Amino acid sequence: MLRIVFSRLLLGVLTLLAVSMLIFAATEVLPGDVASAVLGQGATAETLAVFRKELGLDLPATTRYMNWLTGALSGDLGVSMTNQRPILEEIAPRFLNTLFLACFAALIAIPLAVGLGIVSAINEGKSVDRASNVLSLMTISVPEFFIAYLLIMVFSVQLDWLPSLATVFPDMALGERLYVTALPAITLTLLVTAHMLRMTRASVLSIMSQPYIEMAFLKGLTRSRIVIRHALPNAAAPIIAVVALNLAYLIVGVVVIEVVFVYPGIGQLMVDAVSKRDLPVVQACGLIFAGAFVVLNTLADVLAILVNPRLRKPR
CA neighbours closer than 13 Å in the CB half-sphere of residue 187 = 31
Q: Which pLDDT belongs to residue 278?
A: 76
What does residue 65 show for φ and ψ, rounded to 5 degrees? Answer: -65, -45
Q: Which pLDDT belongs to residue 44?
A: 67
Q: For residue 196, which of 238, 255, 229 has the smallest C-alpha distance?
A: 238
pTM of the predicted model as reported, rounded to 2 decimal places: 0.74
Q: Which pLDDT belongs to residue 42?
A: 62
Q: Which pLDDT belongs to residue 48?
A: 65
Q: Which pLDDT belongs to residue 225?
A: 77
- What are residue 86's DSSP bridge partners? 79
Which residues in the chain land under pLDDT 70? 1, 29-45, 48, 51-52, 54-58, 304-305, 307-315
Q: How far apart are CA 150 and CA 52, in angstroms?
A: 44
Q: Which pLDDT belongs to residue 310?
A: 59
Q: How far apart are CA 58 and CA 168, in angstroms?
A: 39
Q: 1.10.3720.10, 3.30.70.20, 3.40.190.10, 1.20.1250.20: which CATH number matches 93-275?
A: 1.10.3720.10
Residue 125 DSSP code: T
